[in-house]
Amino acid sequence: MAAWTWEYEGYAPVDERLRESLCTLGNGRFATRGALPECDADDIHYPGTYAAGCYDRLTSVVADRRVENEDMVNLPNWLPVRFGPAGGEWLTPDTAPVLDHHLTLRLESGLLERITSYGLDAERTLTVRQERLVHMADPHLAALRTAFTVDGAATDLEVEAALDGGVTNAGVQRYRGLEGHHLTHVHTGTAGPDTVWLRCRTRTSDIRIALAARLTADAPVTDAHERPRAVQRLRLRLEPGRTRTVDKTVALHTSRDPAISDPLQAAVDRVTAAPGFGELLESHRTAWAQLWRRAEIDVPGEEGAILRLHLFHVLQTLSPHTADLDVGVPARGLHGEAYRGHVFWDELFVLPYLNLHFPEVSHGLLLYRHRRLDRARAAARAIGRRGALYPWQSGSDGREETQRLHLNPRSGRWLPDHTHLQHHVGSAVAYNVWQYCEASGDAEFLHTKGAEMLLQIARFWADSAVWDEHLGRHRIRGVVGPDEYHDAYPGAAAPGLDDNAYTNVTAAWVLARTLRVLRDLPEPRRRELFERTAVDPGELERWEDVSRTLHVPFHDGVISQFDGYGDLAELDWDGYRKRYGDIRRLDRILEAEGDTVNRYRASKQADVLMLGYLFSPAELGWLLGRLGHRLDAGTWQRTVDHYLARTTHGSTLSGLVHGWVLARARRAEAWTFCLEALRSDVADLQGGTTGEGVHLGAMAGTLDLVQRGLTGLETREGALWLDPVPLPELSSYGFSLRYQGHWGVRVRLESGRLEIAVPPSDLPPIDVRLPDRTIGVQPGRTCRLPLSG
């Protein structure tokens, strides 16, 4: 591992799925896993290709129930290039002797290189060198160059390239009992002497998909159509020491693409016009260089290398090409089929990073939510509420996609899934609207679509709150918090918990923030919005009242995760760790024992502590103060300690949030959790899950940990607020950002000194506020400031 490369030495079948995820190549429109082109999908390899927003819905029978699931579709496989000695078997690392195998992912240029040496017999060795790219400049193109060299004796080599439409969604073991055949009407054909095509469509969503492949070599190419595959073949005479090269260039279009009439014709036209591999590589490198300049990050050592890998995968999923698409943030990227490609709350960890580098992408991702506002309003009406209820899992049209059953692999039982009660996802949408507008200065969005979303989310929270005469407070009942372990009270007949602290505090924030936004709207726009949504002064008064009276439970001097949490039993933590070792999925362990985690003070991931992730100490103190509570340093420290000792970190987001919160509290343990967040995917800490797709929220969150967590960076009131915290293990780092029209603003912290450089422009100075001073940094100037404390 070097600063700009990610390397794997040797062939290890057990590691292939992980390597395929981490070596995925994409451009924001589609991505392809880093599988070996000569290998079919099996228990070792899984060559998936996924297009952003391409979903399909099928029905399966599970535990004698008909269950409907929508999946991000595994598209026809464009990778296949098989080879072997004439008259012999095709070579794969699972069936032939592998003398050497090396993978190199070049982050700077978005290139995957592979070198494998196969032993053909005692005298001959075949070396295969491949370079692969998914084009970042033209988001419909991909290319694969394969170079063959034989040592020992001349060899006739047969090569077969294909487009394979016989693929299914089978990349996640626990989903394999569900229907996964999404592609139908597969047809193939020939478009020219070196070009073949394949077209198909999805079964329910009826998305048309087309690929065209051009094969270039210094040998005659023949084609055949063996449905569901379009095949091209050639034979190469390999002389010892002489390299022969085969280039495969592929175009991919779907009927969701703008400015085309027919996906097949668009794919054929594009691949026909595409230049050769060398020219494609040059323009691809240029596009990547531009991305790296906009998202520059400078962190030394191994941590810096991992952060670049994380940034690489974020940009491959959410690039500027994403900005014009109708897509959300897929929790597992475009890297695999875990979570079915659905959109959760992970944008809460992704957009704050994108806001300060690629605000146009954040804008596009927020439009995905706005386009589904009517569906969210319908969901609220369905449970008797006003406003907008966004789904915990979203896909193509914004309906609730959360499965009603989930499998516990430990017990083999299918269990009810109540995570759709995580209504707090609406607060995440509202938070992202506000953060985007503060960072970008996009008043137009805030006054129009942003205000519309904020209003309807606030309306939902106000309508969800019920008055409790005994407490003299409003309460929100029957929800599930971010923890996810707890979905019901012990022995309760119905799911849901009352007064989840995270839910209530963020609901109060949404109500207070929305009231401010509505007050600040230009009067004509405010009148227009109120007329269209039938808002009256009495409703706004209720919002103000609810925002100040929502119940926040406490026990033993700490904030309770939910009402009644303090009455739960304590778990024998030492006993369970001794018995099971890894207890990240304590919920599955207890269920397999016939018990339930609902009985215990145990959390899967940060819940209450998420408040310290979203809000600065000052803002969190202000929020709780409005709710009638004084949050002093001692109360927050006790709260952090309480949950730190009772969290299993069964989510990759948990280490991130705990690292952030502990760093802001200047706690020595912070670095341990920061490292866990950094290593969560590269070391596959969740035990095999990364092979099913990366954890995009955790990856983006580690970038934002450096950008906002350690620096205390906030964008509010038209200023950049900075309050850096010392972290001895990372005392020197820097990054660039884009803030309200200023491109390439450089921030660097080193040896107790803060440096801010603003590139020349005709824009006004940036107002920078530190705890002990305020300065204005003019464009074209660099400001160096010593940090106190």
* CA–CA distance, 685 with 679 (Å, rounded to integer): 7
Catalytic residue status for 676:
no
Catalytic residue among 131, 484, 676, 692: 484
| Secondary structure in 3-state letters for 237-277 | EECCCCCEEEEEEEEEEECCCCCCCCHHHHHHHHHHHCCCH
* CA–CA distance, 645 with 515 (Å, rounded to integer): 38
Q: What is the DSSP letter of 449?
A: I
Which tokens sit at 742?
A: 């200023």
Give the residue from 380, 278, 423, 334 showing the smallest Cα distance to 48.
334
How many degrees, rounded to 5, is the angle at CA 365 between CA 364 and CA 368? 95
Which tokens sit at 680?
A: 């969560």
Give the residue from 339, 319, 310, 342 showing the smallest Cα distance to 329.
342
Q: What is the DSSP letter of 692?
A: G
* CA–CA distance, 340 with 334 (Å, rounded to integer): 10
* CA–CA distance, 186 with 146 (Å, rounded to integer): 27
Q: What is the DSSP letter of 600?
A: B
Alpha helices in 77-164 (DSSP H): none
Residue type at 108?
E
Pairing, β 766-770 against β 719-721: parallel
* CA–CA distance, 484 with 419 (Å, rounded to integer): 7
What backbone phi and psi angles, to 5 degrees, belong to 283? -70, -30
How many degrees, rounded to 5, is the angle at CA 536 between CA 530 and CA 541? 120
Please report how many Cα atoms fall inside a 13 Å half-sphere around the Cα of residue 21, on the Cβ side.
26
What backbone phi and psi angles, to 5 degrees, belong to 66? -80, 125
Residues designated as active site: 484
